[in-house]
Structure 1
Amino acid sequence: MPERSGCDSSLVACPDCDLLQHLPQIPPGGSAHCTRCHAHLWRHKVDSLNRTLALALAAALLLLIANSVPMLGLAVAGREAFTTVIGGVLAMWRDGRQEVAMLVLFTAVIAPAFEVACLLAVVLAVRRPPAPAWAGRLLRAYEILREWSMIEIMLLGVLVALIKIAELATVIPGLAMFVLGALVFLLAAMAAVFDPRDAWARVGWVAGASAGLLPGPARSPEGRR
């Protein structure tokens, strides 16, 4: 095997056995496996950037709708009251549950919004390599924000609460409830079609010395077919 420079983004280590190896050319739809332990390491996703961009734009639109329209309402004695996600956070804050309110605000509003914004910025930045160095920092932030984005947990809690109060009042699901449900699946699809290795390979310091930036290690594990 010919010698390669330290800025070769195909030089990676297996996360299972730590074998350092080079990745051969993998066609779209093909998979990469470790040469020693045969662990499945990477799959070359087809048209990852365009699909991720489309899903991220759709997720951004749904997020805007979900936080702008009523999520649910209650009808008691002929009177109806509706609230939004932000309205629910404010109600918990006024009731003295500031810690819970801040947690819901971060995991159900802030983290998902920044998750989508980070991925949108990365996809747009790497479409014309070499991408600027800040795209790499956003890639790291995206992985962290994904762990804190918990819209599905909030929806589960809301559904449990609604079941408990269903005997006391009539529950009226709002548009935001259905939008948030669709957003859960959309965020999962967005993460599934995104190829981090493809994005990392387009960042300036990973793409190689020709970009005029410092080289860095590849961020995603690969092997051979």
Structure 2
Amino acid sequence: MNTQARGSVALVGGGPGHPDLITVRGRQLLTAADVVIADRLGPRALLDDLGPDTEVIDVGKQPHHHPVPQSRINELLVEHARAGRRVVRLKGGDPFVFGRGGEEAEFCRAAGIPVEVVPGVTSAIAVPSIAGIPVTHRGVAAGFTVLSAHTDIDEVPGGAEHTVVLLMGVSGLAATAATLAAGRRGADCPVAIVEDGYGDGQRVTIGTLGSIAADAAARGVRSPAVIVVGDVVRLADPDLLPIPAAQHRTV
């Protein structure tokens, strides 16, 4: 490898977890990479297919445990690119949906490193579909909001007809559910939690804003998980629904 040549950085969205759901462009860049800086929630099975000369750097974060801080991740991207390497930053979902991809792109460009951004299928939309839940549906929900657990939940617009998708929301679920139930949605608003979407531990828990915290505690729900709040949950696979059939909507 010619270390005198200027390298590059590609921020690759790996999709919601299954290795088949990465884009063709993302797979091409991953195959050609000299260095892969990988997140915990990316499609890690793809790393097993890399050549023996590809260096893999694990910077995965877990709730309340970030062994490699974001500032160091930024520096790693620039350091390896300046050494003439083709760097892939492999992320779960989409790099620009709560993935801090914008920060990494800004840091690299400020250092004079060319950056390519490869979109990925965000878990906010893909993971609910595992349970048959669309985030929008004619006559049920015309819009949706995607939030992280750190967002001001009390400012979310609409009622049960406006879908709310929560990422990284398991630890604060009780407080979040109480806040949403106190608004227009009410305690009877349906909620679904999909754990480990497309992974070996995939599981769906369905309840209401009034019950979901207790339901999740009883089942030992853990992250990673995607939480969906709104009437669209009534469209889930009927075998998953504890909501009385008389309350289901047919559109």
TM-score, normalization by structure 2: 0.24
Q: Which has the higher contact order (CA 8 A, sep 6+)?
A: 1
Q: Would you tell me which structure has more strand in proportion to its own residues? A: 2
TM-score, normalization by structure 1: 0.26
